[in-house]
C-alpha cells in the first residue's frame, strides 16, 4: 500500500505532479528508487511528445563569473509566458548559464555531463524540466565570452 509520506517524498525529490508520483510508486510497488527511474523514463517520453510544439516565449538570461573574466548570454525558449516567468524556468536558465561558463571543451552542450551531477547530461536536465513544466523547452542560442 502506497502511503502519503512516500508520495510526498517522491514529489519533493522529483517535483513531478502528485498524481504521477502516485502512479510511479504503485508501478514500482512502493520502491522509491524504481519510482524515480520510472518518472525519469516518462519524462523523456513526455519531452519527445512535446518536441514538435511551437515555442514563442522565453527569456534571455546572463551570467558573469565573479572574476569578471567569463560571461554568458543565453536565449531559452518555451511555449507560454506563464512558464517563462516561472521560477523553475529561470532556475533552469541559470543552471544552463553556469554550465556554459564552465565549458572548456568541444563536446556539444546537450552531450556534456551536468556540472552538478556527472551522471546526468544537459539533455537529461532539459528533458526533466520539460516533464516538470509540461511545455517544450529549447536552448535557442548562447554565447560565451572569456578574457
Share of the chain above pLDDT 70, in %: 94
Instruction: Work out whether the CA dihedral 38, 44, 45, 47 comes out positive or negative.
Output: positive
CATH number of 57-146: 3.30.479.20
Assigned CATH class of 4-50: mainly alpha
Mean pLDDT of 8-19: 77
Rounded to two decimals, the pTM is: 0.72
- By the 8 A CB rule, do 90 and 59 touch? yes
d(CA 38, CA 42): 6
- 115-135 pLDDT, tens digit each: 999 999 999 999 889 888 888
Domain ranges of the chain: 4-50, 57-146
Amino acid at each position: 500500500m502506497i502511503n502519503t509520506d512516500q508520495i510526498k517524498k517522491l514529489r519533493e525529490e522529483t517535483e513531478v505532479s502528485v498524481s504521477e508520483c502516485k502512479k510511479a510508486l504503485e508501478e514500482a510497488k512502493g520502491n522509491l528508487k524504481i519510482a524515480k527511474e520510472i518518472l525519469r523514463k516518462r519524462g523523456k517520453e513526455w519531452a519527445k511528445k512535446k518536441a514538435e510544439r511551437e515555442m514563442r516565449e522565453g527569456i534571455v538570461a546572463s551570467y558573469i563569473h565573479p572574476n569578471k573574466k567569463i560571461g554568458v548570454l543565453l536565449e531559452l525558449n518555451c511555449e507560454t509566458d506563464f512558464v517563462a516567468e516561472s521560477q523553475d524556468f529561470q532556475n533552469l536558465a541559470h543552471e544552463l548559464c553556469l554550465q556554459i561558463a564552465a565549458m572548456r571543451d568541444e563536446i556539444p552542450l546537450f552531450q556534456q555531463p551536468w556540472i552538478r551531477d556527472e551522471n546526468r547530461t544537459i539533455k537529461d536536465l532539459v528533458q526533466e524540466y520539460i516533464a516538470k513544466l509540461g511545455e517544450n523547452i529549447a536552448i535557442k542560442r548562447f554565447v560565451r565570452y572569456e578574457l
